[in-house]
Amino acid sequence: MKRWQALGGVVLAGFLGLAVVSPAAAAAVKGADPKALAEEFGAIVGPVTEDIRKELNLRTSEGVAVFEIIGDSLADLAGIKVKSVIAEINNQPVRDLDAFGRLLSQALAQGNATIGSWEPASPEDQGAGQQMNFHFVPNRQD
């Protein structure tokens, strides 16, 4: 067995050298199920369909639609609303579910995060339409 295999990590060779990343960290960043990760965060999400894009008057179908928020979760604490579209995490664009999963995984590992969303402008939803709303996601300790 080679020395780097004994470390139990994934070795990434790069132009500047080698970095060791644990298998758990590698799996969290790549290959994690975005919907399961979103549920852990406290949101039930899905792709932005053409109908959702039209209802929110969005220019593109990029982002992730929020269908439900789980009470007393990080998503609830951050003030993310049902019928919103998550468009960015930590100033990085969320183009689809895969990008959402990757960016959310990184954000949760770091602790505090900022999520940008488009929200409906109707009084019942209390969202400010036609502009990005930003939500602070705190680092919640168990």
pLDDT of residue 6: 32
What is the per-residue pLDDT across 83-142, written as a single tens digit (0 to 9) for each?
899 999 999 999 999 999 999 999 988 888 999 998 876 656 554 556 788 999 987 664
Task: Quote the DSSP letter at residue 9.
Answer: S
Reported as a pLDDT band with limits 50, 70 and 90, residue 52 is: confident
Q: Would you say 60 and 49 are in contact if contact means Cβ atoms under 8 Å apart?
A: no
Residues with Cβ within 8 Å of 1's Cβ and at least 6 positions away in sequence, in order, are none
Read off φ and ψ for residue 74, nearest 5 degrees: -60, -40
Q: Which amino acid is at 75?
A: A
Looking at every residue in the chain, the average pLDDT score rounds to 77
